[in-house]
């Protein structure tokens, strides 16, 4: 006992003499559990404090205060990092899902969590720079709240910060002769800078996921290293040990399935039959998407006529507008089941092919419906007799987001539940349903696309989407655990998260940028509402501001950047050429590394 005590004292003394980075690495490498490591770290910090006090006679008062502050700050940082580790949202839930259902289902929940964080960031930006200043200049709302507004988004909500039409076009000044806040510039710059940040975040996330899942040689490190080198000996809790064992077992099964994948040889007749089935399935899926888009278009035209003829503030006429989002949500909810049935009919060799084909068909359907709605908003609603067409578009998007959220909950609570009841009681041969990754992922991308489009017309829409995604996460988790079974064919899907990111970027985000660009540069704002009333276009507010800056010498650099960079076609042409060259060089590097990793993988397997 005394020997262990003195050995511990020597260890603490040695660690106290190391630099901060060396000490952290040394403690991390110790074969001890986390509780023991924290005790050692706290003893080392106390020893450092004692030494600093011992040398206090040789140090000045300022040096003592500085050293004490550094030690206190270090302790505070360590404590804070521990609490942040405990507060990581859904970390344990994701581990359980990955262990039981594999990385294919786990990739959906990781993507959902990423979108939730993304919308939280969007809400904070819009609320801070657009909504909060508007509260200063807000006029009292004289409309009565009936409760129906929660479903229609009309009535009382029309005169709130939820919609574009409520925001002022004046320069807000809280104190006379004090600093002012130009709402026009704040609105357009906040939305513009937000989309630039989204663009960079999406590019960085795609590049990071691509490097981790496609290029990193550790992905192809073989099963022996996973079996022998990945166990964490610091795990002592029995539940954590079982969860880690199950997770590791699932990963090895996925890798073995990929290595032992059989190549089926079909006869000429079988190949012809399979090709015909694929062609018929694609024709059926594309025909269904075209029919759905046509139905949404004609329904939207009739709904607009009904709304314009009625009283614009009448809640009953606003409630009639729920027909369009309900029909759109019904099409988005039931047609994917038809696509899944087509996928089972085609009998793909691997589950991955089935998922990717289903995702492609769903993205064609959903993006086509969104495209038809955007055409309806930008070409028909904007030219209608409505006093504030921007608010009308915001209300349409609000209803679409809300109804889509309700259908998503109903699909989980009743669709998967009823499928489980039928598979366990009525038709036992069906068994429990599997989690439909393609359909659920496309539901998220569809909802996020609507949110991005609606940011210009309803700045607080990301906050609503943030709440809906949080509820969807818990509902999907409960439905998955109670109603679904793990995939019958285990398969590794390390690249699936990258595919989700790419689909979110193109065609979703790129399409949204096109819609926002047409709205800002081409369409004329309403004359009686919104921050850009009376202007020929929203972008005219920026041009007007630049003309004012030309009269100030101190702002000449802003004017130069605007004329020579932002509005210069040559600058963007050169930037595009450089981007293409960099992308080509980067792709060549990727292909070289992929070839090397494949050779390394073959050597390890052999």
Helix (H) or strand (E) holding 173: strand 171-173
Find the Cα–Cα–Cα–Cα dihedral 327, 330, 331, 333, rounded to 10°.
160
Range of lowest pLDDT (224-233, 264-273, 367-376, 443-452): 224-233
H-helix segments, 376-436: 389-410, 416-421
The proportion of the chain whose per-residue pLDDT surpasses 70, expressed as a percent, equals 74
- With H, G, I as helix, E, B as strand and everything else as coil, classify residue 485: strand
Provide Rg for the chain, Cα atoms: 29
pLDDT digit string, tens, across residues 129-186: 999 988 887 777 777 887 778 888 887 888 899 999 999 888 887 767 667 888 999 9
- For residue 79, being part of any structural domain is answered with no
Q: Which residue has the higher pLDDT, 260 or 546?
A: 546
> How high is the pLDDT of residue 439?
83
- For residue 181, being part of any structural domain is answered with yes
> How high is the pLDDT of residue 65?
61
- For residue 238, being part of any structural domain is answered with yes
User: How far are the Cα atoms of 410, 479, 480 from residue 425, in angstroms, in the given order?
Assistant: 21, 18, 19
pLDDT digit string, tens, across residues 355-365: 788 888 989 99
Residue 369: pLDDT over 80: yes
Residue 82: pLDDT over 60: no
For the residues 78-104, what does the mean pLDDT come to? Answer: 68
- For residue 580, being part of any structural domain is answered with no
Residue 507: pLDDT over 80: yes
- For residue 24, being part of any structural domain is answered with no
- What is the residue-averaged pLDDT of the chain? 79
Residue 317: pLDDT over 80: no
Residue 492: pLDDT over 60: no
For the residues 381-399, what does the mean pLDDT come to? Answer: 88
Q: Which residue has the higher pLDDT, 374 or 239?
A: 374
Q: Which of the four pLDDT bands, split at 50, 70 and 90, describes residue 60?
A: low
> How high is the pLDDT of residue 27?
79
Can you give the residue range of the structural domain that contains 378?
92-535
For residue 457, give the nearest of 500, 384, 398 by alpha carbon: 398
CA 171, CA 179: separation in Å to the nearest integer?
10
> How high is the pLDDT of residue 579?
76
> How high is the pLDDT of residue 53?
60
The encoded tokens of residue 530 equal 């919104």
The count of domains in the chain is 1
- For residue 78, being part of any structural domain is answered with no
Residue 227: pLDDT over 60: no
H-helix segments, 413-460: 416-421, 437-454
Residue for token pair 């040394």: 26
Q: Which residue has the higher pLDDT, 196 or 240?
A: 196
For residue 282, give the nearest of 369, 342, 371 by alpha carbon: 342
**Number of Cβ atoms within 10 Å of the Cβ of 88:** 9
> How high is the pLDDT of residue 581?
85
Q: Which residue has the higher pLDDT, 352 or 138?
A: 138
> How high is the pLDDT of residue 562?
85
Find the Cα–Cα–Cα–Cα dihedral 419, 422, 427, 429, rounded to 10°.
40
Cβ(328)–Cβ(400) under 8 Å? yes
The proportion of the chain whose per-residue pLDDT surpasses 90, expressed as a percent, equals 26
Instruction: Please classify residue 58 by burial: count the beta carbons closer than 10 Å to its beta carbon, then call 0-12 exposed, 13-18 middle and 19+ buried.
Output: exposed
The encoded tokens of residue 128 equal 């801070």
- For residue 417, being part of any structural domain is answered with yes
Residue 283: pLDDT over 80: yes
For the residues 410-415, what does the mean pLDDT come to? Answer: 82
Residue 537: pLDDT over 70: yes
- For residue 72, being part of any structural domain is answered with no
Helix (H) or strand (E) holding 590: helix 569-605
pLDDT digit string, tens, across residues 190-213: 999 999 999 988 888 887 777 776
> How high is the pLDDT of residue 3?
38
């Amino acid at each position: 006992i005394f020997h262990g005590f003195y050995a511990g004292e020597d260890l603490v003394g040695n660690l106290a003499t190391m630099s901060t980075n060396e000490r952290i690495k040394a403690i991390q490498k110790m074969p001890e559990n986390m509780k023991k490591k924290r005790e050692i770290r706290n003893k080392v910090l106390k020893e450092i404090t004692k030494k600093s006090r011992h040398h206090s006679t040789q140090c000045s008062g300022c040096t003592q205060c500085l050293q004490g502050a550094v030690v206190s700050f270090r302790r505070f940082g360590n404590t804070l990092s521990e609490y942040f580790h405990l507060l990581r949202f859904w970390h344990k839930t994701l581990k359980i899902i990955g262990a039981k259902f594999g990385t294919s289902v786990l990739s959906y929940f990781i993507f959902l969590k990423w979108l939730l964080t993304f919308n939280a960031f969007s809400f904070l930006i819009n609320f801070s720079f657009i909504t909060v200043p508007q509260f200063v200049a807000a006029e009292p709302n004289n409309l009565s709240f009936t409760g129906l507004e929660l479903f229609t988004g009309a009535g009382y909500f029309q005169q709130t910060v939820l919609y574009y039409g409520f925001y002022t076009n004046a320069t807000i000044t809280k104190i006379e002769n004090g600093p002012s806040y130009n709402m026009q510039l704040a609105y357009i710059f906040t939305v513009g800078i937000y989309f630039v940040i989204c663009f960079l975040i999406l590019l960085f996330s795609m590049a990071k996921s691509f490097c981790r899942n496609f290029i990193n040689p550790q992905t192809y490190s073989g099963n022996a290293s996973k079996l022998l080198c990945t166990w964490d000996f610091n795990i002592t809790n029995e539940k954590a040990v079982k969860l880690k064992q199950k997770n590791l077992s699932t990963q090895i099964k996925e890798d073995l399935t990929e290595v032992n994948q059989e190549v089926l040889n079909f006869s000429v007749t079988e190949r012809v039959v399979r090709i015909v089935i694929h062609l018929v399935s694609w024709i059926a899926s594309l025909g269904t998407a075209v029919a759905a888009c046509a139905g949404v278009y004609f329904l939207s035209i009739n709904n607009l006529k009904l709304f314009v003829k009625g009283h614009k503030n009448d809640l009953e006429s606003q409630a009639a507008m729920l027909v369009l989002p309900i029909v759109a949500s019904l099409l988005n909810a039931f047609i994917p089941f038809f696509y899944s049935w087509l996928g089972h009919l085609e009998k793909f060799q691997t589950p991955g092919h089935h998922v990717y084909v289903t995702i492609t068909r769903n993205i064609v359907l959903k993006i086509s419906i969104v495209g038809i709605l955007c055409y309806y908003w930008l070409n028909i609603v904007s030219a209608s007799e409505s006093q504030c067409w921007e608010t009308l578009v915001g209300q349409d998007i609000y209803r679409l987001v809300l109804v889509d959220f309700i259908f998503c909950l109903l699909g989980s609570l009743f669709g998967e539940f009823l499928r489980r009841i039928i598979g366990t009681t009525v038709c036992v041969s069906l068994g429990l349903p599997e989690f439909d990754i393609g359909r659920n992922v496309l539901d998220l991308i569809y909802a996020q696309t609507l949110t991005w489009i609606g940011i210009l017309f309803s700045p607080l829409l990301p906050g609503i989407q943030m709440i809906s995604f949080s509820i969807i996460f818990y509902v999907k988790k409960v439905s998955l655990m109670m109603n679904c079974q793990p995939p019958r064919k285990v398969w590794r899907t390390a690249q699936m998260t990258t595919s989700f990111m790419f689909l979110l970027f193109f065609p979703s985000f790129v399409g949204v940028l096109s819609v926002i660009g047409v709205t800002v540069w081409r369409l004329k704002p309403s004359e009686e509402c919104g921050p850009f009333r009376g202007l020929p276009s929203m972008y005219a507010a920026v041009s007007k501001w630049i003309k004012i800056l030309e009269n100030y010498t101190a702002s000449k650099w802003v004017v130069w950047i605007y004329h020579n960079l932002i509005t210069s076609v040559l600058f963007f042409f050169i930037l595009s050429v450089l981007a293409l060259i960099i992308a080509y060089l980067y792709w060549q590097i990727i292909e070289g590394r992929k070839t090397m990793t494949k050779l390394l993988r073959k050597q390890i397997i052999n």
